[in-house]
Amino acid sequence: MALKRLKWLARGAFLLLLVYFWPSLMHNVSRMYEALFLEVHYEYTGLFDESVQKELSWGQKIFCLNEYATNEVWTFLHDIERSKYKKVLWDHRGKLTEEAEFAGNHFIVKSATKVGFLRNIFSMGMGVNVWNNANWAKHMGMPVLKPVALVEKRSLFETKSFIVYLFEGEVCEKAIKTSEAFFPKIEELKTLLAKKHVIHHDFRLRNMVLLEDGSLQFIDIDKLHWYPCNSHVFKQRLKREVYKFNLNVVEKTDSSQRLKV
């Protein structure tokens, strides 16, 4: 009799732990799914788009919107690794963010390096994922900061990706220290993600930009991902991302604002 009760207690404890850790479990499952998708999904959006100038080879690919493809910008893109115009802003987990000002242009350049023979043969770099997701997100009605140029330098064991944006607005993590008036718009962004079944893999203030017109746009979108309607994994993942967002607000700011979980 005692053994039977012990079994029921063990089952009850297991169910309680499962309920408690379920959002975290779904979060990890969705991250693995996204990683697998990005490894096998290989394309270059806008490859034949007439609004984009491009130079394509296996070793180097350059995309640039026509309105920014001046001789000065094209020279900068060719020499983007060693350009004298770049100034480092920050380095976060191997992703470098730099600023470049020249010939009337003010750009932000984000770069990352991916190492590994098989990964570089069969999958894309960070920059291509950003470029693809920006085009896809605009089509979906998602507010993302669209890059103006992409550079990918590829070898057998290494891929260097550079994604170039116009310098626009202010990162929300900095803006919230002077004003919290825009915070309700972040709630609107969360609602839009839920409506479109889209997950931003790092839903935080540092990955949102407040533009001069007061609108918000996402940045760091290389792993922006869409889920099917009524996906239970998506719902649990979104809850987890909102929970992490609120923790980050506590850690990084003095704001009392929080999103509804």
**Using 50, 70 and 90 to split pLDDT, how confident is the model at 40?**
very low
**Alpha helices, H only, 79-163:** 117-122, 126-140
The pTM of the full predicted model, rounded to 2 decimals, is 0.74
Mean pLDDT of 233-238: 89
Task: Quote the pLDDT of residue 73.
Answer: 96
Q: What is the pLDDT of residues 47-58, one digit of tens each?
A: 667 888 988 887
| pLDDT for 33 beyond 60 | no
In the sheet where 158-166 sits, what is the strand order? 52-56, 60-65, 149-154, 158-166, 105-115, 95-102, 86-92
- In angstroms, the CA 166 to CA 68 distance is 10
For the chain, the structural domain boundaries read: 52-166, 170-250
CA separation for the pair 240, 253 (Å, rounded): 20
pLDDT range class, residue 126, cuts 50, 70, 90: confident
The reply to whether 170-250 shares the fold of 52-166 is no
Kindly report the CATH class assigned to 52-166: alpha beta
Cα 113 from Cα 134, distance rounded (Å): 20
**CATH 1.10.510.10 applies to domain 170-250:** yes
